[in-house]
Amino acid sequence: MKRKLLIFVIGILLVSLLAGCAAKKSDKTAEGYMPAMTTVATTTAGWSKEYGLSETNDYDSLGDLSENTALRNRKVILNARLSLEVEEFDGAYTIIKTMIAPYGYVQETSISKDKYYPEGSQDYIYITRGVIVIRVDADKFEQTLENIAGIGVVLDEKRGSDDITYAYTDTEARIRLLEDEQRRLEEYLKDKTKDADFIFKVQSRLTEVLYQIESLKGNIQRWDDLIELSTITIEMREKVPGQKPVKEYTFWDKLEKSFRQALQVCEGIVIFIISAIPVILIIGGLALLVVFAIRFLLRVPVRKKDKNEEKSRPKQTDNPHNEA
């Protein structure tokens, strides 16, 4: 009995010892990993706070930032062409100049006047028309088009854009390479030990490099001007007095118009046939008279000839002795 009790006590002590070792091992493991996890969380939270990103949409926000940056770096030239009909040319031209004065200017104008004779009058009046080219800030491009459209009736509108990003960046890279070559050539010229022929060749190449740099920088400057100031070409003309506004026809209007034109054609054909009937009858009667007359003239000589032959022919008798 004592032996069984001793074995039971020893078993309890062993179980307790194993349980305590397992608990300590778990604590060490937790202590080893928690600092690293805390560090990662702290770093992520600080990084998000620094760049103004939310903790739940970090990667989506980064994608938006990269797309916006790419769009901002694009080099795009905006342009448009409008065909406009106005009540009075000079007044509309003044409105356009006043409207774009804070953020643009008129680059070019071409104005002419045409003579117009009103219906039923021998006196003429002048109708003014012209082409106006304006340059406006690219940020005001859409607003300017809307304001111009409100001056009169837009007959035609075309918008376009030229993406010159590739050509722009390529030109900038070429400028950097040429400027590096320029610095090297200038260093060569500082060496007084070189002979005259070498110095002459270096100076010639340096002149060529400087010319290319200035030409490329001129292209960059011209592109910057076109990018910053969009071009709008306005073809404007005065409305003809008494002219009705142009109606925009729908599909059913066009179908109705075509049907009416077809009826007008059929009506014209029927009227032509009816009006031509008397002429056809008269011509047909004359043709019949001519045919009868020709037939009559052709038969009369034949009958006369037959009668003459009968008179000149000797009479024959039925006596056989006379024949002998």
Domains in the chain: boundaries: 75-164, 166-230
User: 145: closest CA among 224, 238, 227, 234?
Assistant: 234
| Residue 82: how many other CB atoms lie within 10 Å | 21
Pairwise CA distance, residues 123 & 128, whole Å: 17
pLDDT of residue 132 exceeding 90? yes
* DSSP letter for each residue of 187-206: HHHH-TTS-HHHHHHHHHHH
pLDDT of the residue at 31: 42
111/3: higher pLDDT: 111
Evaluate if residue 201 carries a pLDDT over 70: yes
Mean pLDDT of the chain: 75
* Confidence category of residue 240, pLDDT binned at 50, 70, 90: confident
pLDDT in tens, 47-91: 334 434 344 444 454 455 445 555 667 888 999 999 999 988 999
The single-letter code of the amino acid at 48 is: S
Percent helix / strand / coil, the chain, rounded to 5: 65, 20, 15
pLDDT over 70 (residue 305): no
- In eight-state DSSP terms, residue 52 is T
Q: Would you state the pLDDT for residue 265?
A: 83
pLDDT of residue 105: 92
pLDDT at 199: 85
| The pLDDT of residue 162 is above 80 | yes
Q: Mean pLDDT across the stretch 97-113?
A: 91
pLDDT of residue 5: 53
Mean pLDDT, rounded, for 138-159: 91
Task: Encode pLDDT of 188-198 as tens digits.
Answer: 888 777 788 88
pLDDT of the residue at 315 = 52
Domain covering 75-164 assigned CATH 1.20.1070 in the classification: no
Residue type, 148: I
CA 229, CA 144: separation in Å to the nearest integer? 12
14-28, 38-52, 202-216 — which is least confidently predicted?
38-52
- Output the pLDDT for position 178: 93
* pLDDT over threshold 90, residue 219: yes
Decide if pLDDT at 149 tops 70.
yes
Q: What is the mean pLDDT of residues 119-146?
A: 87
What per-residue confidence (pLDDT) applies to 209? 93
Classify residue 219 by burial, with Cβ atoms within 10 Å: 0-12, 13-18, 19+.
middle
pLDDT of residue 37: 36
Tell me if the pTM is above 0.75.
no
